[in-house]
Amino acid sequence: MPASRARPHQGWVQISAGCNMKCSYCIVPATRGRQVDRPLDELVAEVRGLVEEGVVEVTLLGQNVNAYGRAVVGPTRPARTSFAELLHALDAIDGLRRIRYTSPHPQDMKEDVIEAHATLASVCPHMHLPLQSGSSRILKAMRRTYTRERFLDRVALIRAHNPDIALTTDIIVGFPGETEADFAETLEVCEAVGFDGAFTFIYSPRRETEAAEFVDDFVPHEVSVERIERLLEVVQRRSREQAQRFVGRTLDVLVEGPSRTDPSRLRGRSPHGKTVHFAGLGAPGEIVGVTIESASSTSLAGEQSLLSRALA
Q: Which helix (H) or strand (E) holds 210?
A: none
> Could you report the per-residue pLDDT of 245-255, keeping only the tens digit for each?
999 999 999 99
Domain 1-122 matches domain 125-242 at the CATH topology level: yes
**Model confidence at 105: pLDDT above 70:** yes
Note the pLDDT of residue 73: 76
Cα–Cα distance, 149 to 147 (Å, whole number)? 5
Note the pLDDT of residue 307: 64
* Cβ atoms within 10 Å, residue 117: 18
Per DSSP bridges, beta strands 299-304 and 275-279 are parallel
Q: 38: alpha, beta or left, given left = phi > 0 and alpha = psi -120 to 50?
A: beta
| Cis amide prior to 270 (ω within 30 degrees) | no
Where are the chain's structural domains? Answer: 1-122, 125-242, 247-311
Q: How close are the terminal C-alpha atoms of the chain, in Å?
A: 36
Amino acid at the residue 101: Y
**Model confidence at 174: pLDDT above 80:** yes
> Could you report the per-residue pLDDT of 219-267, keeping only the tens digit for each?
999 999 999 999 999 999 999 999 999 999 999 999 999 998 899 999 9
CATH 3.10.105.10 fits 125-242, yes or no: no
Q: Which residues pair with 86 in a beta bridge?
A: none
**Model confidence at 310: pLDDT above 60:** no
**Model confidence at 44: pLDDT above 60:** yes
Per-residue DSSP letter, 174: S
pLDDT band at 16 (very low <50, low <70, confident <90, very high): very high
**Model confidence at 309: pLDDT above 80:** no
pLDDT band at 72 (very low <50, low <70, confident <90, very high): confident
Q: Which residues pair with 279 in a beta bridge?
A: 303
Name the percent of the chain lying above pLDDT 90.
Answer: 89
**Model confidence at 76: pLDDT above 90:** no
CATH architecture under which domain 247-311 falls: Beta Barrel (2.40)
Name the percent of the chain lying above pLDDT 70.
Answer: 94
Q: What is the mean pLDDT of residues 42-50?
A: 97
The residue that leads in pLDDT, 312 or 116, is 116
Phi, psi of 300 (to 5 degrees): -120, 160
pTM (2 decimals)? 0.93
Helix (H, G, I), strand (E, B) or coil at 277: strand
* CATH label, 1-122, candidates 3.20.20.80, 3.40.50.1580, 3.30.750.210, 3.90.950.10: 3.30.750.210
Q: What is the mean pLDDT of residues 106-135?
A: 97
Cα–Cα distance, 265 to 26 (Å, whole number)? 41
